Amino acid sequence: MTDRYASFVQSAAGRALVKRLGLPDPPRLRRHHPGDPLLAGPALLGSATGGRLAEPVAEILTAAGVELADPAADAAADTPQRYGALLFDATGITDSTVLRQLYDFFHPQARAVLPSGRVIVLGTPPGECATPREATAQRALEGLVRSIGKEFGRGITAQLVYVTRAESATRTSLESTLRFLLSGRSAYVSGQVIRVGAGAASAPTDWDRPLDGQVVLVTGAARGIGAALAKVLARDGAQVVALDVPAAGDALAAVANEIGGTAVQLDLTAPDAPTRLADHLASRHGRVDVVVHNAGITRDKTLGRMDADRWDQVIDVNLSSQERINDVLLERELIPAGGRIVAVSSIAGIAGNRGQTNYATSKAGVIGLVDSLAPVLRERDISVNAVAPGFIETRLTARIPLVVREAGRRMNSLAQGGLPVDVAETIGWLAWPASGAVSGNVVRVCGQSLLGA
């Protein structure tokens, strides 16, 4: 369950050996602890001519206690300045002939970003652009950001954030996403394209408790990612309803006790499970603000050797049961306005995987659930998103044979596997009341894995 090589590499003796032998060098990632500043150094904010976001972004950064660098002063200084983040408002780029402004901003700073620093490019969603030329230039940003993610190294992540032009969008719409991406919460998220719309978002009183008072259901909460999730959500202020199958009852009770939440033992595939769950939530809490569909199973076999039960179980647990629960909770209006649904997909659902036709089908379906439900639930002010974990260090991945495990672990821009907490922090962000403008997204938590489609 641990990456011993990474621990070794990060020790003094390990570092010396890695340098001498040219071994892979997984950096120690900056992770979030309550009270941490958002960044380890000042942020440098640039803007293409005519951009519309530099001002609100500067306001958000200042409000969040981030020091904004003064490039003129830095250029005049004796020692080169190093930055915790580079942010560039690219919304002014309306034609490929002015993409050069990206180069002009990033080229001189390519080696000035601190370890575990952040690169964020902000653009206009191509679908909202006024002309094909503008849409083309805005779409081009993705190639830059994904390349920077692969190039900068040292735990630095790079993201593209498309921000709607809709007039109803406010500074608050964007704030939760910037705070998440800059902070150590997004340690294992890189190379992602995130769309921020105009959904209603309410800022918390305390950004260290962004889920204060929220009732959050977590399925599959007894172990692994689900247990990490329950803890992260409780740390951030949520009242957690931790659910798992009766067989995992002891582990589940331990998680619930540790975080002061409640435990629900339920087999989600039972025909009456959605109703029983809805009854429980209605009687105990009167609502559920956030539903996290984390429960999932694998039953791997190649298709020719797979028995029908393996197919049926995986589809039912990972996909159909999510649909049944959503339908009942929505029909009974137990998810109020401002509610959140977050589902767990997988890189396998994006790229497919040998031996996982059942799992990949179910996890691709989860993406379809997000795509199709998000527009429908927008009018009820409920967001729907998914995370797609890559290689995460859990009990399950610890069982993978060494060579395959090492390949899975290192084949990403951060040269290491993620931790359950990394998935949990990402789900947490999507669950915040402040994240109402983020809906219909599938965010990979994969360290920018090479794998994809």
- 259 and 240 Cβ atoms separated by less than 8 Å: yes
How does DSSP classify residue 32?
Answer: -
CB 138 within 8 A of CB 208: no
Q: Is 421 strand, coil or helix?
A: helix
* Binding track, positions 108-127, relative to a copy of itself; x by CB under 8 A: --xx--------------x-
Using alpha carbons, list the distances in angstroms from residue 237 to 66, 91, 291, 293, 420. Answer: 24, 35, 15, 19, 19
Spatial distance between the Cα atoms of 261 and 263, rounded to a whole number of angstroms: 7
Catalytic, 359? Answer yes
One-letter identity of residue 250 = D
C-alpha–C-alpha distance, residues 111 and 107, integer Å: 9
Which one of residues 118, 146, 231, 409 is an interface residue with a copy of itself (CB under 8 A)? Answer: 146
Which residues, numbered 231-270, are part of the site for a copy of itself (CB under 8 A)? none
Site track 171-210 with a copy of itself (rule: CB under 8 A), x = hit? --------------------x-------------------
- 11 binding a copy of itself? (CB under 8 A): no
CB 406 within 8 A of CB 388: no
Q: Which of 64, 253, 273, 351 binds a copy of itself (CB under 8 A)?
A: 351
How many angstroms separate the CA atoms of 155 and 169, rounded?
A: 32
Is the Cβ of residue 64 or residue 135 nearer to a copy of itself in the bound state? 135
Instruction: Work out whether 64 is an interface residue with a copy of itself (CB under 8 A).
Output: no
Query: Structure tokens of 451?
Result: 């794998």
Nearer to a copy of itself, 36 or 312 (CB): 312
Out of 5, 83, 188, 359, pick the active-site residue: 359
Contact flag: residue 341 with a copy of itself (CB under 8 A): no
Decide if residue 100 touches a copy of itself (CB under 8 A): yes
32: number of Cβ within 10 Å = 21
DSSP sequence for 143-207: HHHHHHHHHS-TT-EEEEEEE---TT--HHHHHHHHHHHHSGGGTT--SEEEEE--------S-T
Interaction between residue 395 and a copy of itself (CB under 8 A)? no
The verdict on 403 binding a copy of itself (CB under 8 A) reads no
Q: Does 331 bind a copy of itself (CB under 8 A)?
A: no
349 binds a copy of itself (CB under 8 A): yes
Q: Which of 58, 253, 278, 367 binds a copy of itself (CB under 8 A)?
A: 367
Taking the least distance from each CB to a copy of itself, the nearer of 96 and 262 is 96
Q: Which is nearer to a copy of itself, 242 or 384 (CB)?
A: 384
CA distance 362 to 174: 31
Q: Is 151 in the site for a copy of itself (CB under 8 A)?
A: yes
Among 201, 319, 342, 388, binds a copy of itself (CB under 8 A): 319
3-state class (DSSP) for residue 339: coil
| Binding flag, residue 150, a copy of itself (CB under 8 A) | yes
Applying CB under 8 A, which part among 14-22, 172-180, 347-355, 431-439 lies near a copy of itself? 347-355
Q: Which of 120, 141, 182, 263 binds a copy of itself (CB under 8 A)?
A: 141
Residue 328 binding a copy of itself, by CB under 8 A? no
Nearer to a copy of itself, 59 or 151 (CB): 151
313 binds a copy of itself (CB under 8 A): no
Stretch that binds a copy of itself, among 70-78, 205-213, 236-244, 358-366 (CB under 8 A): 358-366
Rule CB under 8 A: is residue 17 a binding residue for a copy of itself? no
User: Of the candidates 81, 262, 313, 320, which one interacts with a copy of itself according to CB under 8 A?
Assistant: 320
- Interaction of residue 157 with a copy of itself, rule CB under 8 A: no
Q: How far is the CB of 269 from a copy of itself (least distance, A)?
A: 11
Q: Is 369 in the site for a copy of itself (CB under 8 A)?
A: yes
Between CA 148 and CA 33 the distance in angstroms is: 27
Supply the minimum distance, in Å, between the C-beta of residue 147 and a copy of itself.
4
| 398 makes contact with a copy of itself (CB under 8 A) | no
Q: Which residues contact 205 (CB under 8 A, 6 or more apart)?
A: 212
> How many Cβ atoms from other residues are within 10 Å of residue 267's Cβ?
15
Interaction of residue 297 with a copy of itself, rule CB under 8 A: no
Hey, is 124 helix, strand or coil? coil
CB 420 within 8 A of CB 398: no
State the catalytic residues.
359
